[in-house]
Chain A
Amino acid sequence: MHISDGILEWPTLVAGGVGTVAMAAYTLRKLDLDDIPKVSVITSVFFVASLIHVPIGFSSVHLILNGLVGVVLGMRAFPAIMLGIILQTILFGHGGITVIGVNCVMLGGGGLCAYAVWQLRHRFHFKKNEMVFGALAGATGIFSSGIILALALLTTGKEFAVVAGLALGAHIPVMIVEGLVVGACAAFLAKVKPDALAGQRPIVIAPTDAAQPSTTSADEDTPK
């Protein structure tokens, strides 16, 4: 799900660029030193995920995993997805240089929406709610990106309205696959290494966390 060069008009491209800079500036403030290794691993996963194809019937879809990035990195998902998209554009030719801003808002925004859904799990207490909310977050990541894609295509003219509607329909298989993958990953991480997930209260409060309680725990624990 990348928009190519030469489709969007320049106002949309500029809006995408401005949106990306604003969101990156806001989310990068939440980047702590301890998070960086985790961010780099998840960025690598996101970077490679779009090369993995899932055959569905006569067609095939590829993973996007922006929901997984949201579930694991929380607000840091945006800079991670942005870096992944920039490298995908430069190295693989996905999308295009001028559309990087719009693509970042589309997939990064989806990642943030996935995080918002993921945080809702604190409201519900039932068995395996990580799996359920992980799956929901994975599907939400694709769904919200699909809506942003549709909106971006709608700006190009009326004849795209039909195509934009199709865009959402075409991504239904991706939503299902991503839901399964992210749900499985979230449930697995919750068992093996729960503190690797975003918005999880740390079990052992480290001295560094105690020094800045407002930035680490308060911001993450409140659902968006």
Chain B
Amino acid sequence: MRAYHIRNKAIIPNGCRLNRSLLIAITTIFVLITPTAFAHKLNMFTYIEGNEIFVEGYFTDGKKARNSEITVFDASDSELLSGISDNDGQFSFAIPQQSDMRITVNAGMGHQTEYTLLKDELQDEPASNMADAAIAPALPAKAARTTAQPDGPLTPVTAVSLDNSALRSEVQRAVSKAIKPLMRELSEMRAEKSLADIIGGIGFIFGLLGIAMYFKARKDAAAN
């Protein structure tokens, strides 16, 4: 064993060239591997369009969670329906019930994520009809006030003549279409890790082990 270390030591003086080439090799490895994307965390994106719920699973490196098992549970954790995502990691189904639902995406090999869709997020028709009834008297009055002020003669006829529920669903569709990219970006942003998290984590490691070192040192000092 002693000879083993002597050999090691003997190499060091003339091993500088080897050291440099090793250093270059390690640097090359770390340059070749691009630290652009983050780890393989599975994320999901859920949105409601009309009477359907769309689910999309994707990994943080941008890969879609294709052929993943998507399962929908109701509030009491019994399975409502399940399916397999397509090649874009997407799956859609008609809204099965008007209450809270838990949607899970399982991409295999221990990757799973879930999202709880609350009742409020579902635009249930009966409820919205009731809301329509409440809003209906207020809406024309409001429209009348705002449109009448700039140019007096304009009557609120246009607003009133439109079917309220048709208008409502039209607006809902337009809004959900417009905010879809925003929702997607938001959920992607939430999934991404910031540099602050990385630095913070390293800080935690040094801090926690620093505390361990402090107590260990005190214990050792007390023992001596």
Contacts and interface: CB of A to CB of B under 8 A. Distances in A.
B34 A55 contact: yes
A185 interface: yes
Contacts of A40: 205-206, 209-210
B26 A87 contact: no
Interface stretch (B10-18, B93-101, B133-141, B172-180): B10-18
A4 B111 contact: yes
Q: Kindly state the interface size class of chain A when it binds its partner.
A: 35 or more
Interface string A70-104: 00000000000001100110011110000000000
B19 A44 contact: no
Contacts, number: 140
Measured as residues with beta carbon below 8 angstroms from the partner, the interface class of chain B is 35 or more
Interface of B: 1, 4-5, 8-9, 11-12, 15, 18-19, 22-23, 25-26, 29-30, 33-42, 61, 63, 104, 106, 108-114, 191, 193, 197-198, 200-202, 204-206, 208-210, 212-213, 216-217, 220
Q: Is the interface of B mostly helix, strand, loop or mixed?
A: helix
A152 B34 CA distance: 31
The 3 closest A-B pairs by CB, nearest first: A3-B110, A40-B209, A4-B112
Interface in A156-214: 163, 166-167, 170, 177, 180-181, 184-185, 187-188, 190-192, 194, 201, 203
A162 to B, nearest CB: 9
A46 B15 CA distance: 29
Nearest to B190: A93
Interface of A: 1-7, 31, 33, 36-37, 39-40, 43-44, 47-48, 50-55, 59-60, 62-63, 83-84, 87-88, 91-94, 122, 125, 149, 152-153, 163, 166-167, 170, 177, 180-181, 184-185, 187-188, 190-192, 194, 201, 203
B29 A180 contact: yes
Nearest to A131: B22
A195 B104 CA distance: 48
Given A87-B201, A194-B5, A184 B213 contact: no
Contact of A163 (B18, B38, B42, B108): B108
